[in-house]
Amino acid sequence: MDQWDDIRFFLAIARERSLSGAARALRVDHATVGRRLGAFERRLSAKLFSRTPEGFAITSAGQAILNHAEGMEAAALAVERITIGHDTSASGLVRLTTLEMLAHQVILPALATLLDKNPQLQVDLLVGLRTLDIARRQADIAVRIPRPTDSNLVCRKLGEIGVTVYASPRYLAARGRPRRGMGLRGHSLINFPITPPELGVQFHGESLEGAVVAMHTTSGFAQIKAVAEGIGLCELTCCVADEYPGLERLWPDVRPTMRPVWMVTHQDLRRSAKIRLVSNAIVEAFERDAAVLRYGRPRKRREPRTRH
Domains and CATH numbers, the chain: 2-85 (1.10.10.10), 92-158+260-290 (3.40.190.10), 161-258 (3.40.190.10)
Is the pTM value of this prediction over 0.75? no
The pLDDT-based confidence of 96 (bands split at 50, 70, 90) is very high
pLDDT in tens, 116-138: 999 999 999 988 877 777 766 78
Q: How far apart are CA 294 and CA 237, in angstroms?
A: 9
Q: Is the dihedral of CA 4, 10, 11, 16 positive or negative?
A: positive
pLDDT in tens, 37-61: 988 988 888 899 998 888 899 999 8
3-state secondary structure 206-237: CCCCCCEEEEECCCHHHHHHHHHCCCCEEEEE
pLDDT in the model for residue 302: 52
Between strands 153-167 and 121-127, the pairing is: unpaired
φ, ψ dihedrals at 259, nearest 5°: -125, 125
The pLDDT-based confidence of 84 (bands split at 50, 70, 90) is low
* H or E element at residue 184: none
Q: Residue 127 in contact with residue 100, Cβ under 8 Å?
A: yes
Higher pLDDT, 145 or 236: 236
Average pLDDT over residues 8-29: 88
Buried b (16+ CB within 10 A) or exposed e, 101-110: bbbbbbbeeb
For residue 135, count other CB atoms closer than 10 A to its CB.
14
Q: How far apart are CA 251 and CA 187, in angstroms?
A: 15
